Amino acid sequence: MKRRIVNLKKLRTDYKADLLDEKSVPKEPFALFRKWMHEAVLNHQHEPNAMCLSTFSKDGQPRGRMVLLKGIEKGGFTFYTNYESHKASELEFNHKAALTFYWQACARQVRIEGAVQKLSRKENAAYFASRPRLSQIGAWASHQSTAIKSREELEDWFAFYKEKFKGKKVPCPVYWGGYLLIPDQIEFWQGRMSRLHDRLFYKRNNKIWEIQRLSP
Ligand SMILES: Cc1cc2nc3c(=O)[nH]c(=O)nc-3n(C[C@H](O)[C@H](O)[C@H](O)COP(=O)(O)O)c2cc1C
């Protein structure tokens, strides 16, 4: 196979997008987040709800992985996963977490920091019931983050649960559910010309959001 070498040092983009102005932004960050999410969709950003969830392991090792944002509600951001996964045991140990979005189509980044809490069994079951049937069966087949012998083993478990739930509603596994991250700070980054990017930082002080402009 021919070796292809990308010169990463020469890869650069000059951003020509909109300005982000503290005089015209909403006083609280959720309205701005919703607006940016809407614009990411309008600009055909692929998977605009994909975000990097960062946690800490017990021994202080930072860990990041992508998850999907499934709601902006109850003063926070929700996502779903397996409660026996690595991320879940890390969140059990340390409730603090960060979410990072990058919307390449709009030259925008959003960084969110706060603490998580688990959603209720009722909320988990309600969202699980709305998922496509094969994804529901996939949740039963996967013991997320554990080592498996082969792809075949996973497919065998999938076939097993497909058969087990044939003609029946697929219940929500007890080990599957969501988290709500309540933010205490959110930073909006808008790529601009000549690396003079706009950064607005919202920090919650009790119930009041304070806004600061940060140097790029
Ligand atoms: C675009 C994208 C979206 C993903 N969404 C989710 C998700 O919503 N929930 C989830 O548990 N894993 C999701 N994953 C898989 C995770 O990144 C990760 O591999 C998995 O959750 C195991 O992480 P852990 O070992 O740190 O617990 C997604 C991966 C990608 C690339």
Displacement of CA 202 from its chain's centroid (Å): 19
Instruction: Give the whole-angstrom CA distance, residue 175 versus residue 33.
Output: 30
Give the confidence band of 15 by pLDDT, cuts at 50, 70, 90: confident
Atom of ligand 1 nearest to the CA of 85: 27
- Going 62 to 82 to 128 to 44, the CA torsion angle's sign is positive
Best probe residue, ligand 1, of 65, 79, 80, 148 (max atoms within 8 Å of C-beta): 65
Distant-in-sequence, close-in-space partners of 108: CB < 8 Å, separation ≥ 6: 17, 36, 40, 101, 102, 188, 189, 190, 191
Centre of ligand 1 from the C-alpha of residue 25, in Å? 32
Q: Return mean pLDDT, the chain.
A: 95
Within 6 A (CB) of ligand 1 lie 47, 50, 63, 65-68, 79-82, 85-87, 144-145
Q: pTM (2 decimals)?
A: 0.94
- Cα separation, 92 vs 88, whole angstroms: 6
What are the structural domains of the chain? 14-125+175-214 (2.30.110.10)
Active-site residue set: 195
Cα–Cα distance for residue pair 185/75, rounded to 1 Å: 12
pLDDT given for residue 2 in this prediction:
73
pLDDT digit string (tens) for 117-173?
A: 999 999 999 999 999 999 999 999 999 999 999 999 999 999 999 999 999 999 999
- Taking the C-alpha atoms of residue 97 and residue 139, their distance in angstroms, rounded to an integer, is 23
In the predicted structure, residue 82 carries a pLDDT above the cut 90: yes
The minimum-distance atom of ligand 1 relative to the CA of 70 is 8
pLDDT in tens, 92-113: 999 999 999 999 999 999 999 9
